């Protein structure tokens, strides 16, 4: 990424006065002083709108009314276009009917009441057991009487076990019916939820046939449908040559361009135009605040943060500059127009001024720009001309003239201006540094003015 560095004058610049022989190279030196150094990173950018909303047809429909002119300024919620879609209305009617039917459905599993029968059986068994006991009590022989009483007791135990098993089976049957009823109720509940969701979607589609502005801005009407190509023109010609009574069915069967009298426009939206689901209708653009998206190279992006000031030059307005402020820096990289890795930086764009200090025209979204990001500014900094710095093996250095010799001194740089650079370590004010052809010198070499 190219770095621009604003011009900052040295506090003092002098020619080296010492000379040490005719063969010593001549050098030009400047005295190190203090100055303000501003580092600027430039990046290509594109002007954008603060917000843009593109509206599409919610269903296959016809344009019934266009209530706003192309290019008009509208407020949020303003009525723009009305569409007519009998098919969408019919889908809503069917969805409401299906929801009402599902809501009225109730599942009940019939159950048999076996309680009275069980009571009758218990009563008969109790009477039989009582009669058996009475008969056993009448047997005179004690041994035989005891055997008879044991058989009666055994029969009573067996009946009680059978009766308990019968009651358990009856309870299990009821529980099974409850389970079946619960499962069927869950299915119908899901059907009711689906029917309600279908009603919501169908109603939203019908409501969307009345198109309103989602944001405040300028309206750009879009084409109701794609312009017909040669094949479409041929079809239209064939259909129009048929009797009027069969033109409609023939158009539908052949995929013709709609009913007679309907029109579309590639630059607008006409009443009677047929639109398909998802077809573009119009765009609302909020120009109340313009933005700029800049592509900052990966080598410079770490210097950019929210709040960084910038100036913007618009290609279409070459004699004006616009102030801007960084609002966000993307975390994910993109491939820049220059072929390397870059990061998108978003800026709010202010009103510009021309070179004669008059108000600059407002740019339009999509215009190309150059963004100068003022990433670092060093006030009252020790500074040297950028030409004085030489870089070898990844280290920055300058040549200081001492006693007629060029002494290499490593330095640590800060802000990098266009003509001046900040030295944060390695130099003090008053030192004399070589400011031309320093890269040709050797450490300790004799020099002269």
What would the pLDDT profile of 2-48 be if each residue is shown by its tens digit? 444 443 333 333 333 334 445 677 777 788 888 878 788 888 999 99
Q: By C-alpha distance, which of 435, 360, 358, 365 is closest to 400?
A: 435
For residues 107-118, give the mean pLDDT.
61
Rounded Cα distance, 435 and 432, in Å: 9
Residue 372 has pLDDT above 80, yes or no: yes
Nearest to 397 by CA among 442, 348, 334, 336: 442
Domain residues of the chain, as ranges? 3-48+289-446, 115-202
CA terminus-to-terminus distance, the chain: 36
- Residue 326 pLDDT exceeds 50: yes
Q: Which residues neighbour 310 within 8 Å (Cβ) at sequence distance 6 or greater?
A: 294, 323, 324, 325, 326, 347, 371, 372, 373, 374
Residues 248-280 pLDDT 10s:
544 444 444 443 343 333 345 888 889 999 999
Cβ–Cβ under 8 Å, residues 411 and 397: yes
Q: Which CATH code for domain 3-48+289-446? A: 2.40.30.170
Written in H, E and C, the secondary structure of 366-419 is: CCEEEEEEEEEEEEEEEEEEHHHCEEECCEEEEEEEECCEEEEEECEEEEECCC
Residue 283, SS3 per DSSP = strand
Q: How far apart are CA 398 and CA 140, in angstroms?
A: 139
The rounded distance, in Å, linking the Cα atoms of 284 and 276 is: 20
Tell whether pTM > 0.75.
Answer: no
User: With b meaning 16 or more CB within 10 Å and e meaning fewer, what string describes 212-224?
Assistant: ebebbbbbbbbbb
């Amino acid at each position: 990424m190219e770095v621009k560095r604003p011009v900052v004058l040295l506090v003092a610049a002098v020619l080296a006065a010492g000379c040490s022989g005719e063969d010593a190279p001549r050098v030009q030196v400047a005295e190190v002083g203090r100055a303000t150094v501003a580092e600027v990173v430039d990046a290509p950018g594109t002007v954008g709108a603060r917000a843009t909303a593109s509206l599409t047809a919610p269903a296959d429909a016809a344009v019934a009314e266009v209530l706003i002119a192309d290019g008009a300024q509208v407020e949020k919620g303003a009525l723009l276009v009305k569409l007519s879609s009998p098919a969408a209305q019919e889908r809503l009617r069917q969805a409401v009917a299906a929801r009402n039917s599902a809501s009225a459905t109730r599942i009940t599993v019939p159950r048999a009441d076996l309680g009275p029968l069980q009571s009758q059986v218990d009563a008969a068994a109790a009477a039989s057991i009582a009669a058996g006991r009475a008969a056993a009590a009448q047997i005179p022989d004690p041994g035989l009487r005891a055997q008879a009483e044991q058989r009666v007791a055994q029969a009573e135990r067996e009946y009680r076990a059978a009766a308990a098993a019968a009651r358990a089976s009856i309870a299990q049957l009821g529980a099974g019916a409850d389970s079946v009823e619960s499962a069927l109720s869950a299915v119908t509940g899901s059907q009711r939820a689906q029917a309600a969701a279908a009603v919501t979607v169908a109603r939203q589609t019908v409501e969307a046939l009345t198109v309103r502005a989602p944001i405040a801005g300028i309206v750009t009407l879009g084409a109701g449908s794609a312009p017909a190509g040669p094949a479409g023109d041929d079809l239209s010609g064939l259909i129009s040559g048929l009797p009027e009574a069969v033109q409609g069915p023939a158009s539908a069967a052949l995929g013709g361009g709609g009913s007679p009298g309907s029109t579309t426009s590639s630059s607008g939206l006409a009443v009677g135009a047929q639109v398909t689901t998802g077809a573009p209708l119009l765009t609302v653009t909020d120009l109340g605040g313009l933005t700029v998206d800049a592509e900052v190279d990966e080598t410079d992006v770490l210097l950019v943060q929210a709040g960084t000031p910038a100036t913007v030059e618009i290609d279409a307005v070459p004699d004006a500059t616009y102030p801007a402020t960084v609002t966000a820096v993307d975390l994910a990289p993109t491939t820049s127009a220059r072929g390397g890795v870059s990061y998108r930086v978003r800026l709010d764009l202010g009103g510009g001024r021309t070179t004669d200090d008059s108000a600059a025209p407002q740019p339009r979204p999509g215009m190309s720009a150059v963004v100068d990001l003022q990433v670092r500014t060093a006030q009252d900094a020790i500074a040297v001309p950028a030409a004085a710095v030489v870089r070898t093996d990844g280290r920055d250095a300058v040549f200081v003239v001492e006693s007629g010799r060029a002494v290499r001194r490593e330095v640590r740089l800060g802000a990098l201006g266009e003509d001046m650079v900040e030295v944060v370590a390695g130099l003090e004010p008053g030192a004399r540094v070589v400011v031309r052809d320093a890269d040709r010198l050797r450490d300790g070499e004799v020099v002269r003015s």
